Amino acid sequence: MKNVGKTFEDQEQGSFQVFSDIDLDIKENQFVSLLGPSGCGKSTLLSMVAGLESVTEGSIMLEDKEIKKAGPDRGMVFQQASLFPWLNVKENVMFPLKKKLSKQEASERADRFLQMVHLSRFKEHYTHELSGGMQQRVAIARALAMDPKVLLMDEPFGALDEQTRHILHEELMKIWEETQKTILFVTHSIQEAIKLSDRVVVMGTRPGKIIADFKIDLPRPRKREDQQVIELEKKVMNLLEGEINKVLKEELSHEYSH
């Protein structure tokens, strides 16, 4: 990402700058988390990498090609699994493969990734028969089955309980090690970011910008009680608290002035 900016035009309020001057270089096979307060533009930036949002200024390149629209070289996993309720689990994973593979190949590939997320036994089930965590595993299998160069994840575990989230962290680490994918992961959780990532990129707000880029060289699996994890968490928390206080002050002064 080079000098990337995003401005939304609003008929009532005029233009609103979400962020500007975002410079970020991500290497192949890296697991990078974007962390920051609400409203700093993390999800918008991820959508721009996905090609779902336009870039107002600067450019986003993937392997020297500028991203202009969505494409199969980027797989997206959203906070809600967004599966088709009228298709069963296996059909959901096969759905995006139909255009480029024969039915036999699509079926074999779907089986492979459902096995990877431990859902082979549930491939005939429909989405309403699955828990939230299982639905997210189907969404991850579907994104991986497309064989994208980059896996984009927008708070994929945000709506899940602590226990399920912990299990899916372990799963995701195994999948990442096995597939060697590049992952760009948006989260609100400092713990989640530190536990999973090679790098944690912290965004500030109003307008959004990158205020820190932590390289995390700790051996995996990482435990919450590890001293180095605790110290890193404090560092990141202090940075974020400063940003959140800034937002609160702005909002309060805005309310008083009205």
Return the domain boundaries, the chain.
2-40+54-66+151-163+181-257
Per-residue pLDDT averaged across 35-47, rounded?
A: 91
All residues at 6 or more sequence positions from 59 whose CB lies less than 8 Å from its CB, including other chains: 1, 2, 3, 4, 66
Q: Is 117 helix (H, G, I), strand (E, B) or coil?
A: coil
Gap between the Cα atoms of 99 and 122, Å rounded: 24
Runs of H (alpha helix) within the chain: 42-50, 89-94, 103-116, 132-145, 162-179, 190-196, 227-257
For the stretch 192-204, pLDDT in tens is: 999 999 999 999 9
Distance in angstroms (rounded) separating the CA atoms of residues 50 and 237 = 28
Looking at residue 72, its pLDDT comes to 92
> Of the candidates 179, 196, 175, 178, which has an alpha carbon nearest to the alpha carbon of residue 187?
196
Contact between 247 and 206 under an 8 Å Cβ cutoff? The reply is: yes
Of 10-19, 53-62, 92-101, 236-245, give the lowest mean pLDDT range.
Answer: 10-19
Residue type, 52: L
Tokens 């080079």 correspond to 2
Q: Give residue 257's pLDDT band: very low, low, confident or very high (50, 70, 90).
A: low
Which SS3 state, helix, strand or coil, does residue 125 take? coil
Q: How far is CA 118 from CA 161, 168, 176, 246, in A?
A: 19, 11, 15, 44
- pLDDT confidence of residue 12: 75
- Tens of pLDDT, residue by residue over 73-114, are 999 999 988 899 999 999 999 999 988 899 999 999 999 999
Higher pLDDT, 252 or 150: 150
More confident residue, 24 or 205: 24
Q: Is pLDDT of 249 > 80?
A: no
Distance CA 151, CA 95 (A): 18
Superfamily of domain 2-40+54-66+151-163+181-257 in CATH is P-loop containing nucleotide triphosphate hydrolases (3.40.50.300)
For the chain, percent of residues with pLDDT exceeding 90: 78
pLDDT of 16 strictly over 90? no
- Of 33-37, 97-101, 241-245, 253-257, the one with minimum mean pLDDT is 253-257
Q: What is the mean pLDDT of the chain?
A: 92
Residues near 239 by beta carbon (within 8 Å), at least 6 away in sequence: 202, 211, 212
* Position with higher pLDDT, 95 vs 39: 95
Residue with more model confidence, 100 or 66 = 66
Mean of pLDDT values over 153-181: 93
Q: Which residue has the higher pLDDT, 54 or 242?
A: 54
Q: What is the mean pLDDT of residues 165-191?
A: 94
Angle between helices 162-179 and 132-145 (to 10 degrees): 20
Q: How many residues does the chain have?
A: 258
| Among the listed residues 150, 157, 196, the one whose alpha carbon sits nearest the alpha carbon of residue 173 | 196
